Amino acid sequence: MIVYGKQVVLYILEKHPHLIEEIYLAKEIDKKLFSKFANVGKKIIKPEFKKAQAMSRGGNHQGFLLKIKDIELRDVDELKNSSFLILLYGLTDVGNIGSIVRTAYALGVDGIIIVGVKNINFESIIRSSSGAAIELPIAQCKEPLSLINELGQIGFERVVADMSGKDIRECSFLEKKVLIVGSEGEGIPRKVLKNCDKVVKIKMKREFNSLNVSAATAILCDRMI
């Protein structure tokens, strides 16, 4: 697995050096930082610019790339004893997913379940979450309605974000809960809304009815906690 970008590479270097298999530095760095990479005890390669661009698939690697051990998605069953989960329904933008993972980890969410998406670019999510995706359990489920029903049966309060909902500032929540958010384009299907316990929204101060999904999720998480 290749990850790139200065922030995520330095995070892994500091927190998870055991994951590193190869180090790629496509720019000159100071001796102090180079020694930190050297202390990992793995091969340090200095690729040419074109090679680094190919490895990052045209992404902004900033001269820092790592080959790390594969990190796998968790099994949904591992998350069922959690107190607070986020369920991402149909989100495909890895930038938004990564931002949500980063915020969720910082605020104390126990795990994230991605549903309604066939393929997940986990490498990109690690990068866009600045490494938080390594820390926070992330699972995938291809049968969202069954999962949402099951979560209700095992005691989760199912809270879904939708503009038809109640102002979240007026709501209280059980200790065991799952927040369900949808994509900005498609939102949450009506059949999902009907199967949830609470429908909530962020009440705006001005006539503007849209927030980026990652920003909205951060606000919802903080208010639910």
Digit-coded pLDDT (tens) for 16-69:
999 999 999 999 999 999 999 999 999 999 999 889 999 998 889 999 999 999
Query: For 73-78, what is the mean pLDDT?
Result: 94
Domains of the chain as residue ranges with CATH? 2-68 (3.30.1330.30), 76-224 (3.40.1280.10)
The CA-atom distances, in angstroms, between 34 and each of 104, 120, 159, 209 are 32, 33, 47, 48
99 contacts 129 by C-beta, under 8 angstroms: yes
Reduced to 3 states (helix: H, G, I; strand: E, B; else coil), residue 191 is helix
> Counting beta carbons within 10 angstroms of the beta carbon of residue 162, is it exposed (0 to 12), middle (13 to 18) or buried (19 or more)?
middle
Exposure of 114 in the CB half-sphere (CA atoms within 13 A):
24
159 contacts 198 by C-beta, under 8 angstroms: yes
Digit-coded pLDDT (tens) for 10-29: 999 999 999 999 999 999 99
d(CA 37, CA 52): 18
Digit-coded pLDDT (tens) for 100-144: 999 999 999 999 999 988 888 888 899 999 999 999 999 999 888
Cα 184 to chain centroid distance, Å, stands at 16
Is 0.95 topped by the overall pTM?
no
d(CA 184, CA 198): 20
Query: For 153-168, what is the mean pLDDT?
Result: 94
The pLDDT of residue 180: 97
Give the helix ranges, DSSP H, for 167-210. Answer: 190-194
d(CA 225, CA 105): 13
- Reply yes or no on whether the pLDDT at 71 is more than 90: no
**Nearest alpha carbon to residue 97 among 184, 210, 186, 204:** 184
Query: What token pair was written down for 161?
Result: 């974000």
Digit-coded pLDDT (tens) for 179-201: 999 987 777 888 889 989 999 99
Element (H, E) at 51: helix 49-55
The length of the chain is 225
The pLDDT of residue 209: 67
